[in-house]
Amino acid sequence: MQKFNKELLTRLSAGDRDAFNALYHIYRAPAVRFCRSILKDSVESENIIQDVFIKVWNKRHGINPELNFTSYLFTIIKNRVFDHLKEIKKNSLLKERYWQNLEKYKVSGEDVQEERLFKVKKAIEQLSEKRKEIIRLNYEEGKSYEEIASQLKISKNTVKNQLVKAKQIIRKQLEIALMF
């Protein structure tokens, strides 16, 4: 097996896809079992193993056929699993902080509506004059794209594009505001 692996690893480091496929088929099942034994999640284990084999392919030129490939592969897997577990922990901490902040700033329904309206108005104020005007004509006066285009002497597509861009900016501003 060791001599067979050396030959495959030599071919792999030269960029041979068949050698990579052979190594993948030899090591995939034990790698998934190892990963699953730590994570207890079959789907995530499969995803991690796919990532690891992509990494092996991308770093194929640096693989030394004289060294133990099994140790190399399982070290990569172990490190990737630990990174994944750290990521999960970080995400759960972020969620926890989010919910704590949400509870801290919990207010009645009217206050929430008022606050949201204030943030929307503040975001609109930061738009260019042209976009503010288009928003005002469309939402406050209820004018159609054609009416706005005619009044401002611009094309209907310009009105539509400016509204889309304005909405994107407003959404982004509101997302940023919600983070704090």
Burial label for 169, CB within 10 Å (0-12, 13-18, 19+), is: middle
Q: Give whichever of 88-97, 104-113, 171-180 has the largest mean pLDDT.
A: 88-97
Which residue range is the domain that position 164 belongs to?
107-179
Which of 102, 134, 163 is the last residue in one of the domains? 102
Min mean pLDDT across 100-114, 131-145, 152-166 is at 100-114
**How many domains does the chain divide into?**
2
- Using alpha carbons, select from 130, 134, 132, 112 the residue that is nearest to residue 122: 132
Whether the predicted model's global pTM rises above the 0.75 cut: no
Percent pLDDT > 90 in the chain is 43
pLDDT band at 109 (very low <50, low <70, confident <90, very high): low
Predicted confidence (pLDDT) at residue 47 exceeds the cutoff of 80: yes
Same domain, 131 and 64: no
- Which residue, of 48, 82, 102, is where some domain finishes? 102
The pLDDT, as a whole number, for residue 24 is 94
- Does residue 15 come out as left (phi exceeding 0), alpha (psi in the -120 to 50 range) or beta? left
Co-location of 111 and 41 in the same domain? no
Q: Whose CA is closest to 34, among 75, 69, 85, 5?
A: 75
The band of 166, judged by pLDDT with boundaries at 50, 70 and 90, is confident
Domain co-membership, 66 together with 122: no
pLDDT of residue 90: 80
Mean pLDDT, range 87-113, rounded to an integer: 70
